[in-house]
Amino acid sequence: MHDAVPPLPGEHPLLALDRLVAGYDRPVVGPLSFHLAPGEIAALWGPNGSGKTTVLNAIGGGAHIFGGSVTRRPGLRVSHQHQSALPLQDVPLCGRELLALTCADARALPDTMKPLLRRMLSELSGGQLQFLQVWACLTAPVDLVLLDEPTNNVDPASIALVGDAIRRVRAERAVLLISHDRDFVEALGARIVTVERQ
């Protein structure tokens, strides 16, 4: 799917995908083109299996680029939240220590979530873990945040907190996310980038 969105005049994009074709053993997505400017929120939108996660992986260096290009601004700092569960296996980490790994801002955590800082990760629900994961990536000192289904397993109140957090950080960061929650994406005012199945 060729979905070209040229940059605005005088704008220096953080990220530029130019006819990107990406995959693992074989191509699974592309060609896809779009740019992402500082402070922008964009959402990859498409059916299951269209390769949205592969696009994020290609940007983050976890998928093979078969054609086209991914151009990152020099010195671009990126965080990437993956949609799969954390590889816990009873690792004795508490919430505060998890956030410290990405140098995330634990002090700015919403008050309702602050009790999670003292608790062991293995004692948290899937939704609570997901929230901490997303927070760790959103508030890390980076320029671009990649979020893969940040609202999975998260209750409506926490979804609202995730949305608030994304809006709060957009002044300093660009966000590229995948979500099947159309209401969530529209509430963020995100630009939609359509990804179609090959």
Partner 1 sequence: MFDPMFFTPFATGLLVAAVLPVLGMYLRLREEWLAALAFAQLAAAGSLAAAIFGMPVLIGGLGLSGMAAAGKAWLVRSGNNGYAMLMVAGWGASILMLANAPLADHLGHALFDGQLYFTGRSHLWSMAAFAVVAAALMQWLSRKLLLERMFPDFFRASGLSATRFHLLFDLLVAGGLALATASIGVMAAFAVVFIPTMIAYQWGRSWRRSIAIAALVSIAAYVIAFEIALVEDQPFGPVLVLALVLAAAFAWSLKTLIARSAGPVPARRRP
- ω into 31 cis (within 30 of 0): yes
To the nearest whole angstrom, how small is the minimum distance from the Cβ of residue 186 to partner 1?
25
| Choice from 91, 115, 172, 192 touching partner 1 (CB under 8 A) | 91
Closer to partner 1 by CB, 76 or 187: give it. Answer: 76
Closer to partner 1 by CB, 60 or 68: give it. Answer: 60
Residue 81 touches partner 1, criterion: CB under 8 A: yes
Stretch that binds partner 1, among 15-23, 32-40, 123-131, 172-180 (CB under 8 A): 123-131
What are the angstrom distances between the C-alpha of 27 and each of 24, 55, 107, 116? 7, 11, 42, 40
Residues of span 140-179 touching partner 1 by CB under 8 A: 140, 142, 146, 153
d(CA 46, CA 158): 24
Q: Which residues pair with 75 in a beta bridge?
A: none
d(CA 149, CA 187): 15
What six digits make up the tokens of 5?
């969105």
- DSSP track, 137-167: HHSSS-SEEEEESTTTT--HHHHHHHHHHHH
Residues of span 38-57 touching partner 1 by CB under 8 A: 57
| Choice from 82, 167, 180, 191 touching partner 1 (CB under 8 A) | 82
Task: Name the residues that contact partner 1, by CB under 8 A.
Answer: 57, 59-62, 77-82, 86-87, 89-94, 96-98, 100-102, 120, 123, 125-127, 133, 136-137, 140, 142, 146, 153
